[in-house]
């Protein structure tokens, strides 16, 4: 292989071995976690079971969501839960009369506290102007939310569960919003069932350029210096079950997304990058997307800070709704 690279690049490597250079073998190296008392997880599980349920129930009563589970069967058993808010009765009736009804929107969250971190953003998806005619799915992955869950479905299994959820409610295609780790699930959907993907909106996506070590190194190996790096290390990357998931159940070849795999050759794709992202190499990803003519925008701020910026929240929601209505012209105007 080294000889082939030398021939391809017309370059001769000097003989020898540099012990200071090592590879990052995420799935075979010992994973690192910081201790948390059992009470931390007891409170977290109780919070998820009580306070979370109350908060979800309240949000559901406001936006009309129903909760459901998609059971997975395989080498291990796992459940992928989701919330579903149907369109209004008038919109549902119009869907049966017309072939141009809006596609549903599926939101897939990232690492952290699950859907709780996104309640304000979710409300915008459901309450935006004209959004009530668009069905909305919210994928709920509690194994990414600092809970006592050591086993989790793989990305291909999660993609199959999403497809099953769509079919359960009579949908064959959808527009997907993926934030951070959620973009990896979207990548799995684009690869496994491209006909089901009508459009994608990716925010702070980790799925591009995963062949390079940047994302893995920043999440697993980096010694934190700044306050935001210390925050992510303690609350996310060094949490026992999150660390185990990333180090043992996350496989780059499931999560990577190539520009060629995007729907409609990128015509129904919008990518939003954070300029000062502490996890995603935004400048390199932007250069890659530019070379492939994939619409993208650079937002100010750090990873996930779009949730604190109403302007970008509104633009992302408007973009997804434009794709859901198959309004490509409007979506291009938004990106420009």
Mean predicted confidence (pLDDT) in 84-103: 71
User: What's the pLDDT at 137?
Assistant: 93
Q: Are 202 and 271 in contact (CB under 8 A)?
A: yes
pLDDT tens, residue by residue, 160-217: 999 999 999 999 999 999 999 999 999 999 999 999 999 999 999 999 999 888 999 9
Residue 55, token pair as written in the block: 């908060």
**Closest-CA residue to 262 (of 205, 302, 213):** 205
Q: Edge-to-edge, what's the strand order for the sheet holding 296-299?
A: 66-72, 78-85, 136-140, 105-108, 174-179, 197-203, 269-274, 296-299
Per-residue pLDDT band for 77 (boundaries 50, 70, 90) equals: very low
Q: Higher-confidence residue: 57 or 5? A: 5
The closest of 318, 328, 326, 311 to 131, measured between CA atoms, is 318
Closest by CA to 270, choosing from 321, 170, 199, 212, is 199
Rounded to whole angstroms, the Cα distance separating 336 from 332 reads 6
Mean pLDDT over 65-85 rounds to: 58
Average of per-residue pLDDT across 242-262: 92
pLDDT of res. 124: 92
- Binning pLDDT at 50, 70 and 90, where does residue 78 land? very low
DSSP line for 242-306: HHHIIIII--HHHH---GGGSGGGGTTEEEEEETT-SSS-HHHHHHHHHHTT--EEEESSSTTGG
- Alpha helix stretches (DSSP H) within the chain: 2-9, 38-46, 53-63, 89-97, 119-127, 155-168, 182-192, 214-216, 227-232, 240-244, 252-255, 282-291, 310-324, 328-335
The yes-or-no verdict on residue 69 having pLDDT over 60 is: no
Q: What is the pLDDT of residues 290-334, one digit of tens each?
A: 999 999 999 999 999 999 999 999 999 999 999 999 865 555 556
Domains, the chain, ordered by start: 31-335 (3.40.50.1820)
Enter the pTM of the model. Answer: 0.86
Matching residue, tokens 């929107």 = 105
Whether 312 and 335 have beta carbons less than 8 Å apart is answered as no
């Amino acid at each position: 292989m080294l000889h082939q690279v030398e021939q391809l690049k017309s370059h001769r490597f000097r003989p020898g071995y540099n012990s200071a250079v090592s590879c990052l073998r995420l799935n075979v190296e010992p994973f690192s976690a910081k201790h948390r008392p059992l009470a931390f997880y007891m409170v977290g599980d109780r919070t998820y079971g009580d306070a979370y349920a109350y908060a979800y129930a309240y949000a559901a009563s406001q936006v009309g969501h129903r909760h459901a589970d998609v059971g997975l069967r395989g080498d291990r058993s796992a459940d992928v839960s989701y919330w579903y808010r149907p369109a209004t009765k008038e919109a549902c009736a119009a869907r049966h009369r017309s072939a141009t009804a809006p596609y549903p929107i599926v939101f897939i969250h990232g690492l952290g506290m699950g859907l709780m971190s996104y309640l304000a953003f979710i409300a915008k998806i459901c309450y935006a102007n004209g959004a009530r005619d668009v069905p909305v799915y919210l994928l709920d992955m509690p194994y990414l939310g600092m809970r006592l869950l050591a086993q989790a479905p793989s990305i291909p299994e999660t993609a199959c569960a999403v497809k099953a959820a769509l079919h359960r409610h009579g949908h064959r295609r959808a527009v997907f919003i993926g934030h951070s780790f959620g973009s990896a699930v979207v990548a799995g959907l684009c690869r496994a069932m491209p006909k089901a993907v009508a459009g994608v909106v990716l925010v702070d996506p980790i799925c591009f350029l995963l062949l390079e070590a940047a994302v893995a190194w920043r999440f697993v190996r980096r010694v934190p210096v700044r306050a935001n790096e210390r925050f992510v290390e303690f609350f996310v990357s060094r949490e026992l079950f999150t660390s185990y998931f990333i180090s043992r159940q996350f496989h780059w070849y499931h999560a990577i997304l190539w520009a060629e795999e995007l729907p409609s050759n990128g015509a129904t794709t919008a990518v939003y990058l954070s300029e000062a992202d502490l996890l995603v190499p935004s400048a390199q990803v932007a250069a890659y997307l530019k070379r492939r003519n994939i619409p993208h925008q650079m937002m100010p701020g750090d990873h996930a800070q779009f949730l604190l910026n109403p302007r970008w929240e509104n633009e992302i929601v408007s973009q997804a709704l434009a794709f859901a209505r198959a309004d490509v012209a409007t979506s291009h105007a938004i990106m420009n």
